[in-house]
Amino acid sequence: MENSGLGFPPLTVTVFVVLAAAALMIDLIAHRKDTPLSLKNAVLWSLFWLSIGLGFGVFLYVQHGAEIASLYITGYALEEVLSVDNLFVIMAIFSWFKIPEGYRHRVLYWGIIGAIVFRGIFVAIGTGLLALGPWVEIVFAIVVFWTAIMMLRAKHDSEEIEDYSHHPANRLVRHFFPVYPKLVGHHFLLSASEVRADLAEPENQGFVFQVKNGVHYATPLLLCTAVVELSDVMFAFDSVPAVIAVSREPLIVYSAMMFAVLGLRTLYFVLEALRGQLVHLEKAVVFLLFFVGFKLALNASEHLWHHGYEISASASLFVVLAALVVGILASFVFPEKEEQ
């Protein structure tokens, strides 16, 4: 069977591209309005995205067998679990910028688009670097181990919100645009006439802001989006090596990450509602990072010294799913005690 440049037949690549494009279109059309997403709708949409991701896994199983499908499902599940910590960071960003619930979906949409683009770039670079030899896997293992250690050392205080006023993304936007310090609908940028029109609103009487003609002004929504985008890029430095540890096939890695990322927007609203209950899920994330680092180091040592030990795709899938289930169950069985 003729293969494409991605190591898979043209049919597989075509199905992936069509399914991903259709999913993006559905998401864009379904969430045009700036209305908060209820927990019920968020759960239903999350199940829809889960069915899309698993559906592609079924297609891979039919076309390419159980091993390829297992590699994909493992990468998909790993990306979903590792994304939990990133979603908690996004919650803190929304709180600091005081973004209303109705506008968070819009910020997340552009954040997801950025995640899809940058992950594509990082996957291409990462899988290309692995061709240089097993020492690259060791570097990836060190990166993943370091991330896990930093997560263990971090002190997460839910009452303390990080100051994002000096965040590099915030400063970058301010370098190119002056900032109008008020939200005006879901606009990212405002023209001078739009700023004057907002200043003329009755509720803004007494608010002083100097407007210059021919200048576009960034709103807090654009600043927030920029911070979310850069935060996700930094997160991708950790998650991409983790998923590459599962498979070196670019299409497997990228499709697993993309279909997982597509469901993150609605998963955010589920996690936001359940944040107080899922108190041990982050421990599962840390455990999986150590597991992935160990798997990368084991693969590298096998290539260097041929000791014959490796972790199979099915074993990796079991570990990822088991860690996720244990983290969720432990959160409900051993809830965090409230301080008196």
Which is higher by pLDDT, 51 or 157? 51
What pLDDT was estimated at residue 161? 54
Specify the DSSP element, H or E, that contains 188: none
194 pLDDT tier (thresholds 50, 70, 90)? very high
Alpha carbon 106 to chain centroid, angstroms: 15
Which is higher by pLDDT, 2 or 189? 189
Task: Pick from 63-72, 161-170, 319-328 the range whose average pLDDT is largest.
Answer: 63-72
Task: Pick from 54-68, 142-156, 196-210 the range whose average pLDDT is largest.
Answer: 54-68
53 backbone dihedrals φ, ψ, rounded to 5°: -65, -45
Mean pLDDT computed over 183-210: 88
Sign of CA dihedral 281, 235, 73, 134: negative
223 pLDDT tier (thresholds 50, 70, 90)? very high
217 pLDDT tier (thresholds 50, 70, 90)? very high
Q: Which residue has the tokens 């990836």?
A: 140
d(CA 211, CA 200): 12
Which is higher by pLDDT, 239 or 218? 218
Percentage with pLDDT > 70 across the chain: 92
117 touches 275 (CB < 8 A): no
Mean pLDDT computed over 59-69: 92
1 pLDDT tier (thresholds 50, 70, 90)? very low
Residue 319 reports pLDDT greater than 60: yes
Specify the DSSP element, H or E, that contains 189: strand 189-190
189 backbone dihedrals φ, ψ, rounded to 5°: -125, 150
What pLDDT was estimated at residue 18? 93
Residues 6+ apart with CB under 8 A from 141: 241, 293, 294, 296, 297, 300
Specify the DSSP element, H or E, that contains 116: helix 101-130
Confidence (pTM): 0.83
d(CA 330, CA 284): 10
23 touches 262 (CB < 8 A): yes
What pLDDT was estimated at residue 6? 53
What interhelical angle do 264-274 and 39-64 show, nearest 10?
130
Alpha carbon 25 to chain centroid, angstroms: 19
Residue 82 reports pLDDT greater than 50: yes
Q: How many CB atoms lie within 10 A of CB 43?
A: 17
d(CA 251, CA 273): 33
337 pLDDT tier (thresholds 50, 70, 90)? low
Mean pLDDT computed over 58-69: 92
What pLDDT was estimated at residue 152? 77
Residue 2 reports pLDDT greater than 80: no
90 touches 111 (CB < 8 A): yes
Average pLDDT over the chain, rounded to an integer: 84
Burial of 307 (0-12, 13-18, 19+ CB in 10 A): exposed
Residue 94 reports pLDDT greater than 80: yes
Which is higher by pLDDT, 33 or 271? 271
The model's pLDDT over 137-173, given as tens digits with 9 standing for 90+, comes to: 888 888 888 888 877 776 544 445 567 888 899 999 9
β 217-218/189-190 pair status: antiparallel
69 touches 58 (CB < 8 A): yes
d(CA 130, CA 124): 10
Sign of CA dihedral 195, 200, 202, 204: positive
d(CA 95, CA 234): 20
Helix (H, G, I), strand (E, B) or coil at 208: coil
Mean pLDDT computed over 60-66: 93
